[in-house]
Amino acid sequence: MNRQESIEKIRELTHGIDFCMLTTIDGEHLRSRPMSTQEFEFDGDLWFFTSDNTHKVDELEKHKRVNVAYSNPDDNVYLSISGRAEVVKDRAKIEELWSPVLKAWFPEGLDDPHLCLLKIPVEQAEYWDAPSSKIVQLFGMVKAIATGQEADYGENKKITL
């Protein structure tokens, strides 16, 4: 896949998935927490709102590498994205991505002095996309066991942006 095809595939796979798990490095340990991806036209960068006084921001100051995992079990879609996160305090970008629903997490809204963005330029991604229903997947597993052939679990690919 070329870069544009990779971007389109990630856009397609993440469409409709609000929450993901963001993993950072805390010393020698990995830490994951749920994050809500901002609605925008994916162009190769993921954006998240956060506060600059959180553990994740402290962790990112020491280790920029992150993983973002998306899951949509109802549609059998799973996506793992890696990149290097950066804290962005660009007021114009914050206003561009701001949505009133974010006041649930940031009661002061755009006036919150700690409000900032995490920008994650996607470096690599791996996805699993099995568009079949669970019954079709179960039938495929039974068939594979009976025939000794490997089951077809759908599409699994690594892509680099």
Torsion sign across C-alpha atoms 34, 40, 46, 49: negative
State pTM to two decimals: 0.83
pLDDT digit string, tens, across residues 4-14: 999 999 999 99
**Higher pLDDT, residue 70 or 137:** 70
Superfamily of domain 3-160: Electron Transport, Fmn-binding Protein; Chain A (2.30.110.10)
List the structure tokens of 72. 């949509």
Q: What is the mean pLDDT of residues 108-129?
A: 96
Supply the pLDDT for residue 80: 97
Q: Where are the domains of the chain?
A: 3-160
What tens digit of pLDDT does each residue of 120-141 get?
999 999 999 876 555 455 555 5
pLDDT of 92 above 70: yes
pLDDT given at position 121: 97
pLDDT score at 88:
97
Over the range 49-81, which residues count as b (16 or more CB within 10 Å of their CB) and which as e? Answer: bbeeeeebbebbeeeeebbbebbeeeebbbbbb
Regarding predicted confidence, which is higher, 98 or 39? 98
